[in-house]
Amino acid sequence: MPKPTTNFRDFYNDDTNVSPAERAKIEFEVELIGKLIEVRESKGLTQAQLAEAAGLKQSAVARLESLKATPQIDTLFKVLTPMGYKLAIIPNLEDEYNLKIVKEYEAEKAKGNMKYYSLAEVKNEFGLDE
């Protein structure tokens, strides 16, 4: 049973109310859409202008930006492309394991010992096998 809370922050951060997976999804969506709005505004575009460039209705952009709709990958592609952006998968550098891989890579690069490795080779080379 959820614990009694006095404010939203306590409620939100209590795993019995909002699971870590749900919290991660919410935070990802808020960050993604926040960045999308930031880019649109930095380009001086209105929602209507972005919608026209993306081949969408203005109301679709408004729903996306207000988090009333979870965007599909193709919709994100349509919205980001006219603004000169793309989706990418990058390592989570807050993760200690990924940070170690990047630091080892940078150290080897600085020494001039670079060659191209597969991920498996990198893990093996630097003793990062789990």
Instruction: Return the CATH number at 25.
Output: 1.10.260.40
pLDDT in tens, 15-68: 888 888 888 888 888 989 999 999 999 999 999 999 999 999 999 999 999 999
Q: How far apart, in Å, do the first and last CA atoms of the chain sit?
A: 36
Q: Are residues 111 and 55 in the same domain?
A: no
Q: Is residue 32 part of a domain?
A: yes
Percent composition of the chain: helix, strand, coil (DSSP 3-state, to 5): 60, 0, 40
pLDDT in tens, 77-129: 999 999 999 888 776 767 777 677 777 877 877 887 666 556 676 677 677 66
Q: Is 126 within 8 Å of 101 (Cβ atoms)?
A: yes
For 87, half-sphere exposure in the C-beta direction (CA atoms, 13 angstrom radius) is 11
Domain region containing 75: 8-83
Q: Is 130 within 8 Å of 119 (Cβ atoms)?
A: no
- Number of CB atoms found within 10 A of residue 32's CB: 15
Predicted TM-score of the model (pTM):
0.63
Q: Are residues 79 and 102 in the same domain?
A: no
Q: Is residue 30 part of a domain?
A: yes
Q: Domain count for the chain, please give it.
A: 2
Q: Are residues 105 and 55 in the same domain?
A: no
